[in-house]
Amino acid sequence: MTSVAHQKLQNGSRAAVIFKDLVSRPSGAIGLSLVIFHVGLALISPFVVPFDYKLQNSALMLSQPDAIHWLGSDHLGRDVFSRTLMGGREALLVTGVATPLAVIWGGFVGILFGLVGGRVDEVLMRIVDAFLSLPWILKMLVLIVTFGTGIEVLIPTLAFFYGIPVIRIARAATHDVIARDFVWAAKARGHGRVSIIWRELLPNVLDTLMVEGAMRWSWMLLAFSSLSFLGFGVSPPTPDWGLMISDARGFMSFAPWGVIGPVIALSSLIIGINLTADALAKALGIDRAQKAPM
């Protein structure tokens, strides 16, 4: 990008143009609609659920779907439809906070690494590579088992581990910008590193970070649901899609309705985020296949 792009970024009209381009694409319109639907549902679900998600009824254990209980009931006689409607609240809350945190700290560190360059950059990136070489589930489980499974632990844990890959993305984007004339001019004027990052580099890598943030959000949702499935996410009786799938998997052969609802809900949200991220990348002119060179 050039300094002209920097000026356009500060203009609110650019956001409107990007939004119009995004929703004009079928993938963007469908994806954004799914995301808005799930976010809206998470906000209003406590007021629209037909039954208390904690209400147990032994007479309804594993009952089939009917006109009253649209998705049947689970092994404790709780209404599956109500729990499915409520199941995205914790996931959206945790990942909705953790994703921006991951992009902010990972983006800043990546930009700083790209600006510093040289041997320091190489050494620090090898440390990042070492983190990335380990399975994410093992890294997070170590911290979660050590410090607990509350939201106050899950948010910083997810933000930390999913911010590490952002470092590589931000560093690669910074390398594409740092050789431009306006960056050299800022250095010649005696601007410090913080000033160069804030005024010159950040506005020109922000598009890449926005797309990366959208992708991280979908992956973080999968991670959160996986942790809940393994018993390290939210605690019962709080409804959560991953936890619901875990509870119902033992009854799938004769009561599959306990799994169908949360699977469809989680899948549609992740598909919606991925479609939106793909359309956003195209609207911003970013090639996701080329944005993270080794």
Task: Fill in the DSSP letter of residue 234.
Answer: S
Question: How far apart are the C-alpha atoms of 46 and 68, rounded to whole Å?
Answer: 18
Chain centroid to Cα 171, Å, comes to 20
Quote the mean pLDDT of the chain. 85
Q: What is the CATH number of domain 3-48+87-284?
A: 1.10.3720.10
Please state the three-class secondary structure of 164-201 as a single string: HHHHHHHHHHHHHHCCCHHHHHHHHCCCCHHHHHHHHH
- The pair of structure tokens assigned to 270 is 């992740």
User: Would you state the pLDDT for residue 293?
Assistant: 39
Q: Would you place residue 238 in the very low, low, confident or very high pLDDT band (cuts 50, 70, 90)?
A: confident
Q: Which two tokens stand for residue 88?
A: 């995205």
pLDDT digits (tens, 9 = 90+) for 107-157: 999 988 888 877 877 888 888 888 888 887 787 888 887 887 788 889 999
Stretch among 27-36, 139-148, 159-168 having the lowest mean pLDDT: 139-148
- The pLDDT of residue 1 is 47
Highest mean pLDDT among 15-24, 92-101, 144-153, 192-201: 92-101
pLDDT band at 97 (very low <50, low <70, confident <90, very high): very high
At 53-86, the pLDDT tens digits run: 998 988 889 999 999 999 999 989 999 999 999 9
The more confident residue out of 15 and 169 is 169
79 strand-pairing partners: 73
Q: What are the distances in angstroms from CA 71 to CA 37, 86, 229, 260?
A: 19, 14, 20, 8
Chain-centre distance of CA 27, in angstroms?
18
Domain edges within the chain? 3-48+87-284
Predicted confidence band of residue 4 (pLDDT cuts 50, 70, 90) = very low
> Quick check: 194 pLDDT over 70?
yes
For the cut 80, the answer to whether the pLDDT of residue 187 exceeds it is: no
